[in-house]
Structure 1
Amino acid sequence: MGGELTYLYAVVRPTASLDGADPREAGGVADAPPRIVRVGGIAAVVGSVPEADYSEAALRNHLEDLGWLEEVARAHHAVVEFLAARTTVLPLRLATVYRDDDSVRAVLREGERAFAGMLDRFAGHVEWGVKVYAEPVAASDAAAAEESAESDPGRAYLRRRRQQRNARGAARSAAVEAVARIRETAGELAVELVGHRPQQGQLAGSGAGENLANDSYLVPGDSSGAFHERVRRAAREMTGVRVEITGPWAPYSFVTLTGPDLPEGVRQS
């Protein structure tokens, strides 16, 4: 397989905000400069990638290569964010690949109504991520001193384990309450909310604690400051709770390419 395939990053409108902007500045997957394919009132931002690496069979093998996936994800995200800084964007999932540009044009023609509707829906909005962690508070100095004074090592061990369980339980309860507060108060400013599966292991980040909520909020851009303040206020002074806010992002979590208005063959990996 020595040919090339067309890699689809995103769908946009070919508006004045893109005039003069060169997506090649953002780099591109497989070091291929992105280009724009236009059909009517919408456009796709695409690039050429080697079939040897991006055929269905090759992609299945690459899914086991975290280094390769990270490199592709970084390049994909750079192109999407370049576009999002200039216009409303519908980001496609990683490794959405078509046979050629004509196949992409067919997708744009057949799905134009659905794409246009989503572009209208997301105009002026951004995605914010909110993760809530339960982080048990370490034993106090007084508790540590009490344990060191305990003459029976077995009883000291059991006391330490009981304190750890109590701390974990208290932190978890506080984090659950923080999640509810954030979804209620900050969620009032969002037009949509998507709850992702809480992350575990390396995906949960370098900090300690249990990830109890991994939510994405679609928020009007001019409400972002108020949204941040409500998130922080909801968890303020809650012991054993850590909150992370990430973004703003293009609406990755809210783009759905399914339904009768879209053609078959939209492959997202």
Structure 2
Amino acid sequence: MNQLRYVYAVCRPFEAALQADLVGVGGAPLKQLAHGGLVAVLSHVPPEDFGYEPFKAHLEDLDWVSETARAHQSVIAALTTVTCPLPLRLGTVFRDDSGVRTMLEDEGEQLRALLARIDGRVEWGVKVYAEPVEPAGAAAAADRPASGRDYLRMRRTRRQDADRLWARAESFAQQLHTDLAARSAASRLHPPQNPALSRAEGQNVLNAAYLVGRSDSEEFVECVERTKDQEPGLRVELTGPWAAYSFSDPDSGTGEEAR
């Protein structure tokens, strides 16, 4: 049975060579398919894994999904060092080269517009977490209230402290987002992460992505770094630079979030 085409990203034509040992999903070598002034970076994958029904079944296998996602991400990361790739979704597969060309032809205008948006830019992620800070021995004291009245008073005090921290965290996150968005070509607010899924400590208050020019990235990073440890009980995390995952569809980085 013929191999399918797994497409990682669409780029403008680029001359720089990728690292010699870079491979795609399943260890397959990478290929470039050029059409209409665009380049699709792809590899061949077996239909018994990436046909519609097999792929759907594989999505139930977390180990398989993780391995595929790592291979996908490694290709995107390598492309980001030599160009500004437009990442495609995990598992974007076509029957043959003709199908890839048809995609580039049919979506060419939109793809070129998106590539123009991200040209010379990378994505940075910024998260803010609220982490309640208890005085030393507070937890132990709470376990041994002198009376029922003391217990209720302790609970009320802790709830008030948490409310004040949350209000402060929201104000801090809103101001930080405003400052960072002003330094970005576009920004996007993602839903707060579920702590049970992310396994991150604290309550996620801000989960945002920023599209920043490569030449402006140092100043952007310095701006974020200055906010760290600025507010007790709040943690700021910076990740990147990444390919522009959050800005790879027509509706991303538009409206009031765009700059």
Establish whether residue 178 from structure 1 lines up as the match of residue 172 from structure 2: yes
Check conservation: 1:135, 1:168, Cα contact below 8 A. Answer: no
Residues 220-264 of structure 1 deviation map (CA, whole Å, 9 limit, x = unaligned): 111112212323444652122111111000001101168xxxxxx
From 222, 242, 252, give the equivalent of 1:249. 242
Taking a change above 3 Å as real, the CA distance of residues 159 and 257 of structure 1, as seen in their structure-2 partners, is same
1:216 alignment partner in structure 2: 209
1:11 alignment partner in structure 2: 10
1:4 counterpart letter in structure 2: Q
Check conservation: 1:134, 1:210, Cα contact below 8 A. Answer: yes
2 CA distance for matches of 1:202 and 1:72?
A: 23
User: Is the deviation greater in 180-189 or in 72-81?
Assistant: 180-189
- Name the SS for the 1:170 alignment partner: helix
The aligned runs of 1:138-177 (5 Å cut-off) are 138=134, 140-141=135-136, 143=138, 147=142, 150-152=145-147, 154-177=148-171
Q: Which structure 1 residue ranges, 4+ long, deviate > 6 Å from structure 2?
A: none
User: Over aligned residues, Cα RMSD in angstroms?
Assistant: 2.3
Check conservation: 2:86, 2:248, Cα contact below 8 A. Answer: yes
Q: How many residues end up aligned between the 2 structures?
A: 251
Establish whether residue 105 from structure 1 lines up as the match of residue 101 from structure 2: yes
1:239 alignment partner in structure 2: 232
Check conservation: 2:180, 2:210, Cα contact below 8 A. Answer: no
1:224 counterpart letter in structure 2: S
Paired-residue identity, %: 40
Check conservation: 2:227, 2:236, Cα contact below 8 A. Answer: no
Taking a change above 3 Å as real, the CA distance of residues 97 and 142 of structure 1, as seen in their structure-2 partners, is closer
1 CA distance for matches of 2:139 and 2:33?
A: 66
1 CA distance for matches of 2:55 and 2:196?
A: 23
2 CA distance for matches of 1:254 and 1:127?
A: 8
- Name the SS for the 1:141 alignment partner: coil
- Name the SS for the 2:45 alignment partner: strand
Check conservation: 1:37, 1:44, Cα contact below 8 A. Answer: yes
- Name the SS for the 2:55 alignment partner: helix
2 CA distance for matches of 1:16 and 1:89?
A: 13
1:191 counterpart letter in structure 2: A
Taking a change above 3 Å as real, the CA distance of residues 136 and 202 of structure 1, as seen in their structure-2 partners, is same
Shift of 1:147: 5.0
1 CA distance for matches of 2:106 and 2:141?
A: 72
From 50, 62, 67, give the equivalent of 1:54. 50
Check conservation: 1:134, 1:174, Cα contact below 8 A. Answer: no
1 CA distance for matches of 2:154 and 2:236?
A: 27
2 CA distance for matches of 1:78 and 1:25?
A: 12
Taking a change above 3 Å as real, the CA distance of residues 160 and 12 of structure 1, as seen in their structure-2 partners, is same
- Runs of 5+ unmatched residues, structure 2: 252-259
1:83 alignment partner in structure 2: 79
